[in-house]
Amino acid sequence: MSTVNYNLSPLTGKTILVTRSVGQSHQFSDRLTSAGANVIEMPALEIGPPSSWSALDQAILHLSTFNWLILTSSNGVEYFFERLEKSGQDKNALSGVKIAVVGEKTAQSLQKQNIQADFIPPNFVADSLVENFPESLTGKKILFPRVESGGREVLVKELTAKGAEVIEVPAYESCCPQGIPPAAEYALVNNTVDIITFASSKTVLFFSQLTAHIFTYNPENLARVCIASIGPQTSKTCQSVFGRVDIEAEEYTLEGLTNAIIKFSNNQ
């Protein structure tokens, strides 16, 4: 996919609200700012530990019994390797385990651990992983560290349908923040936001909760804002919550979302 020349500042004059979690929004915000946008960060997601580490810790103790480790998010990578280290082990414990990842950012997070994935599906979505899995799944034992609540079940169902034994363990939890930063609330109330970006279904749902007091009585404020989604699953949630999606990334990455926003803005 061709990239956009940010030197042209194609987003000058646009105010864009970024809803990614604290600590994960800066790279995306920097991309948008480099393209000329005024960026306001409103984290609609908080990432933290699961309610218990027990299941993950037990799985780590028995890593040698697994054929594959599947990681579908940067959070999953970070928390898995944090617990691996706390167990007194290192990446050598994975020497007999193949690793599959979903998404470019997930692969990059794994590379920071000096590990290359054995399999990355051609499309940056979980459905593509099963469709393109490099070997028969029959009889394979798979470890899947994942978000504790609210994750999609389709991946586990499809892997199981292909004959795999999938062990799901909570590696982290994502929840709704307690409130909205004042700058974000001011911008939403005063109609100065042009585009709102969403990189996951949970950010859509939590954004809706956090802003109900703003938009319930002033739905026209939201109607004039463009809704930008990183990919098809997030778009489905946007359609369900907002009744529309104005922008969807062709490549399901933050760079792809940035390019889609620029393309949309250039066509206005």
Three-state secondary structure of 77-115: HHHHHHHHHHCCCCHHHHCCCEEEECCHHHHHHHHCCCC
Q: Are both 95 and 130 inside the same structural domain?
A: yes
Domain that holds residue 40: 6-45+177-266
Q: Check residue 37 and give left, alpha or beta (phi > 0: left; psi -120 to 50: alpha).
A: beta
Q: Are both 28 and 63 inside the same structural domain?
A: no
- Averaged over successive runs of 10 residues, the pLDDT of the chain (268 residues) comes to 59 96 79 96 95 98 97 95 96 95 90 95 81 96 94 89 97 95 96 96 96 91 96 96 97 92 91
Residue 253 maps to a domain:
yes
Residue 31 maps to a domain:
yes
- CA 154 distance to own-chain centroid: 16
Residue 1 maps to a domain:
no
Two tokens, residue 31: 């991309």
Q: Are both 59 and 155 inside the same structural domain?
A: yes
Residue 70 maps to a domain:
yes
The pLDDT score that the predictor gives to residue 3 is 54
Q: Are both 129 and 181 inside the same structural domain?
A: no
Domains in the chain, number: 2
Q: Are both 83 and 156 inside the same structural domain?
A: yes
CA distance 168 to 156: 8
Read off the CATH number of the domain in which 18 is found: 3.40.50.10090
Residue 124 maps to a domain:
yes
Domain boundary (175, 197, 226) is at 175
The pLDDT score that the predictor gives to residue 6 is 47
Q: What DSSP string runs through 102-159?
A: -SHHHHHHHHTTT---SB--SSSSHHHHHHT-SS--TT-EEEEEEESSS--SHHHHHH
Domain boundary (175, 198, 229) is at 175
Two tokens, residue 189: 């109330």
Q: Are both 52 and 171 inside the same structural domain?
A: yes
The pLDDT score that the predictor gives to residue 154 is 86
Q: Which residues of 199-211 are buried (b: 16+ CB within 10 A; e: fewer)?
A: bbbbbbbbbbebb
CA distance 95 to 84: 13
Q: Are 163 and 137 in contact (CB under 8 A)?
A: yes
User: Nearest to residue 195, comparing CAs of 149, 163, 154, 227?
Assistant: 227
The pLDDT score that the predictor gives to residue 1 is 47
Domain boundary (124, 148, 175) is at 175
CA distance 247 to 263: 9
Residue 72 maps to a domain:
yes
